[in-house]
Amino acid sequence: AAMPGDGCKGNVRYAAIGRISDRVLVATYHHFTAGPPSAKYLAVAQKVLSSDKVLSQQSANVPNAVEDSCCLMQADKKYMYIVFVEKSYPERTAFELLRMIRKDFTDKDATQAESATENSMSKTVKKWMSAACTKYDDLTSVNKVAAVQAQVKSCACDAADG
């Protein structure tokens, strides 16, 4: 069986969901385990969740948050959704991932999260969070534009060889 993290490109590193009312991270998920330790991401995620300045923006992109990864966040009235992605990862795509996490969370686990304690929902969300991060880790599969460009490139090469 494949180990978790196998086939992981390292585009998507870490994700977390924080409850805004008391600034508690109710769920965290470390996707790219070959990179920096989860504690580094956790510390930054907590800092982002605790920042009134960040919160007032509804969405934000913090460059070089953990080594070479950016931290992006999106907030609704109750929760903040945070992802860490590789620094060259397209911002628009990262926000799509955040929207997907937010939707999955709202549909599946939000009611439970109102009374959740720190990190108590990590196991619950891991199933769909892992699927979302795996999907978005592979840019060619989510970013159709990128995929089309990649195809065009290879076709052009084939034509040139012929």
What's the predicted TM-score (pTM) here?
Answer: 0.84
Using 50, 70 and 90 to split pLDDT, how confident is the model at 157?
Answer: low
* Cβ atoms 136, 96 nearer than 8 A: yes
What value does the mean pLDDT of the chain take? 88
Using 50, 70 and 90 to split pLDDT, how confident is the model at 5?
Answer: very low
Distance (Å) of CA 76 to CA 19, 40, 57, 138: 10, 25, 11, 27
**Segment 60-83 mean pLDDT:** 95
pLDDT at res. 58: 87
Is the pLDDT confidence value at 10 over 80? yes
pLDDT at res. 22: 97
Using 50, 70 and 90 to split pLDDT, how confident is the model at 160?
Answer: low
Chain position carrying tokens 């070479």 = 68
* Cβ atoms 11, 137 nearer than 8 A: yes
Kindly give the residue spans of alpha helices, DSSP state H, lying in the chain.
Answer: 38-50, 52-55, 91-108, 110-113, 122-137, 139-142, 144-161
The whole-angstrom separation of Cα 4 and Cα 10 is 13
**pLDDT tens digits for range 98-148:** 999 999 999 999 999 999 999 999 999 999 999 999 999 999 888 776 666
